[in-house]
Amino acid sequence: MELIPINTLKNGIRVIHEEVSSPISHFGVVINAGTCDEPDDAAGVAHFVEHTLFKGTKKRNSYQITKRMENAGGDLNAYTAKEETYFHASFLSSDYERAVELLSDILFNATFPEKELEKEKEVVIEEINYYKDSPTELIYDEIEELAFTGHPLGRNILGSKKSVRHLKRDDIINFVQNNYTADNIVLASVGNISTDNLLKLCNRYFCQPITTSCVRQRTPINEYAPVQVKRHKSISQAHLMLCNRAYSIQEDQRASFTLLTNLLGGQALSARLNMTIREKAGLAYTAEASYTPFTETGLFTIYVGCENDKVDKCTELVFKELKKLREEKLGTMQLHIAKKQFLGQVAITNEAKINELISIGKAALISNKVETPETYSLAIENITAEQILETANQILIPEQFSSLIYSKI
């Protein structure tokens, strides 16, 4: 197996880099800390930290942080997930040092000024309002709550209005101190710089004193029991979500199930759910499937948006497609096309190098090893029809699916 090398700074922070010849480069900090690491009395703090790290450092105010990359034509951004937080910059390759220094300043020197914290609470509350008014966004959050009831993975990333308003500066500082440790940090880079020169920059700006090891313990994954929920909402279109737990990021079946998910409901118009529900039956505009692997488990979801009186028919067609995958092994040509289509979509996605940065950063963080694109492609090519059939019969079990419906009838 060919791997992309991972280097380690003297303070324990890891660095992974892929050199590409491009006028645009990307550098980011990936933190092994997300929503599932929050204390029960500080819901939303991981996401709030992501926001407030940009609100001032020992030498910059929030305006200076924002303009530092924008004045050079670059972009600075961040987002929070259930198990990780990402901070990243995209910039002209000549501005590598500017990006590395700025992200270092944010990570090590954030001051979390009280005045800025109170303003940012209102910003996050407006973000919560936005999601509540967007059923296609909200239903994805709520299906996770149903799939992981009683576990931190089911917690909404944004928190609630009440929990955000109750966050204190000490909650933020404690979360950073407990989670932003050297063993929880990976510096990821995809750009036009040599590994040696990047390491010089990382040693200059990131090799600062930092707590070495994280002592927090994540909550063990709990038992899953399927539930069926219907919400009456005053909306023009009904929204249907189905889900089941799936493979973790560490399990070997993850690759074959990723391929299966793409075949069933990926981006291609020829994906089975789209062909059956949209193209043949004309019942929906959107019919898609997704699979998210976590450290100890995973989540498989299916989403369909349709007329309120067409939910039952769409549900029937979904389970008909799942039954085919459980009972009918893919033919040689079907499997070949599925692989080629998937690998092509991966290549197109990674052409936006920021996606590749996030991918290699997360892999280094979780597994401490990152396969080269060639190695990953070979792994996909080696998947057999028998493996896909096996994963289908382990995950696509009708009795194990939870359902969530937003409808006005």
Asked if residue 129 belongs to a domain, the reply is yes
Residue 327 Cα distances to 271, 387, 391, angstroms: 18, 13, 12
Do residues 63 and 88 lie in contact, with contact meaning Cβ atoms separated by under 8 Å?
A: no
CATH number at residue 65: 3.30.830.10
Mean pLDDT of the chain: 96
Q: Which helix (H) or strand (E) element contains residue 362?
A: helix 353-367
Question: Do 85 and 197 have their domain in common?
Answer: yes
Asked if residue 223 belongs to a domain, the reply is no
Angle at 37 between CA 33 and CA 38, to 5 degrees: 120
Question: Do 123 and 243 have their domain in common?
Answer: no
In angstroms, the first-to-last Cα distance of the chain is 54
pLDDT, tens only, 213-243? 999 999 999 999 999 999 999 999 999 999 9
Asked if residue 88 belongs to a domain, the reply is yes
Asked if residue 343 belongs to a domain, the reply is yes
Question: Do 200 and 237 have their domain in common?
Answer: no
Asked if residue 391 belongs to a domain, the reply is yes
pLDDT, tens only, 84-106? 999 999 999 999 999 999 999 99
Asked if residue 218 belongs to a domain, the reply is no
**What pLDDT does 393 receive?**
98
Domain boundary among 143, 171, 205: 205
Asked if residue 382 belongs to a domain, the reply is yes
Domain boundary among 173, 205, 237: 205
- Range(s) of the domain holding residue 289: 228-407
**Single pTM value for the model:** 0.95
pLDDT, tens only, 75-87? 999 999 999 999 9
Do residues 319 and 153 lie in contact, with contact meaning Cβ atoms separated by under 8 Å?
A: no
Domain boundary among 140, 174, 205: 205
Question: Do 175 and 261 have their domain in common?
Answer: no
CA atoms within 13 A on the CB side of 134: 10
- Which residues lie below 8 Å from residue 221, measured CB to CB, with a gap of 6+? 151, 153, 296, 297
Question: Do 160 and 260 have their domain in common?
Answer: no
Statement: residue 409 has pLDDT above 80 = no
User: Distance (Å, rounded) from C-alpha 259 to C-alpha 271?
Assistant: 11
Tally of structural domains, the chain: 2
Locate 282 and state its tokens.
């004309």
Do residues 92 and 74 lie in contact, with contact meaning Cβ atoms separated by under 8 Å?
A: yes
- Which residues lie below 8 Å from residue 12, measured CB to CB, with a gap of 6+? 182, 183, 210, 212
Asked if residue 211 belongs to a domain, the reply is no
Helix (H, G, I), strand (E, B) or coil at 3: strand
Query: Which of 177, 172, 75, 180 has its CA nearest to residue 116?
Result: 172
- Neighbouring C-beta atoms of residue 376, cutoff 10 Å: 18
Question: Do 191 and 313 have their domain in common?
Answer: no
pLDDT, tens only, 266-297? 999 999 999 999 999 999 999 999 999 999 99
Locate 271 and state its tokens.
């994906």
